[in-house]
Structure 1
């Protein structure tokens, strides 16, 4: 059970992986090597958390990091003691996301958003827009240019959105929209953004860093 702050009706879950060489950003290993790919995972996670902390300066939002690989101690040593850490647990991406949403709603959250750390375009403004949309819509999706999504937001657990989907394929976003329409969920899409998954995507990350500098 999560212990959310009493005033926290808006909850943000960050899905990431402990940056262990050889086990993270594997599609980038041919370009960066195992250590370089792990370092990119480390930098992109830190960048995402920086954006989230900017949002927290302006809005009452609780944040939780759901991690794969490593353990809570390694995560604390890496990202500090100010964040809540929880293992993603077993199962495919869909069952891990559905579980994290269910636990957040059980703990009293009324709006829950999940993001990954692969998309440097996710900033405080996009997250603010996503939360605001949850006052009007049942489902908020941030479509990724590769056909997946970089953000999903809900106001109640809807496990149907996470089953019978081939994660990591170009049909994930569309399949999710199809399910939403079938079960009569009102939904809205945010601006499409690019993920950094493959060697040809590295320029997106470089542009994000240049903008931050």
Structure 2
């Protein structure tokens, strides 16, 4: 219902060397890429907790559910921890959105351009739209929020490609859903993305 505070679900891998942010390894090395991933997860959770109370935030873990990073974030912020299920990204997003009643949003943990203010803007837009989404510069999206279960949003999407956003927007239109796209964001996958983020931090 309008005005109901949504649940926010964050998806995060454990920062295991060789399994997290591997495309940053040419710049940072395998260990450095894992450390960079841990930094991004911490930043993401901190931003989320500036926008919403911890009891409205769930951190969905993958690879190593008992990794010390997740315990650290639980102790520091009080967010709920849950294990990501199997399946492709669409199945995991849909599972998180449907894990609680009422409006919900899902975002990745490698998108520092999603600030707490932008999360608040998405919450506001979701109160008057069926779907809220933050398109990403690489053709994907950094956040999606819904009021109900729309399976078609996540089926037969070319996950991992630059067509994720366009395919999802086509589904939104086909389903007759009213959507809001408050801003375009960018995530960190490649060395130049990491350098962009470091430049922004150094200028703050």
TM over 0.5, shorter chain: yes
SS at match of 1:191: coil
Residues 79, 207 of structure 1: alpha-carbon distance in 2 compared, 3 angstrom cutoff: same
Q: TM-score, normalised by structure 1?
A: 0.87
Q: Gapped runs of 5+ residues in structure 1? A: 1-7
Match of 2:147 among 146, 151, 155: 155
Q: Does 1:131 align with 2:123?
A: yes
**RMSD after superposition:** 1.7
How big is the shift at 1:54?
A: 1.4
How big is the shift at 1:194?
A: 1.4
Q: Does 1:77 align with 2:71?
A: yes
How big is the shift at 1:77?
A: 2.7
Alignment: residue pair count: 199
Structure 1 residue ranges, 4+ long, deviating more than 4 angstroms after superposition: none
Please name the residue that 1:204 is paired with. Answer: 196
Alignment of 1:13-92 (within 5 A): 13-56=9-52, 62-72=56-66, 74-81=68-75, 82-92=78-88
Q: Gapped runs of 5+ residues in structure 2? A: none
Please name the residue that 1:177 is paired with. Answer: 169
Whether the aligned pair in 1 keeps the contact of 2:38 and 2:69 (CA below 8 Å) is: no
Q: TM-score, normalised by structure 2?
A: 0.91
Whether the aligned pair in 1 keeps the contact of 2:9 and 2:57 (CA below 8 Å) is: yes
Distance 1:35 1:60 in 2: 30
How big is the shift at 1:84?
A: 0.7
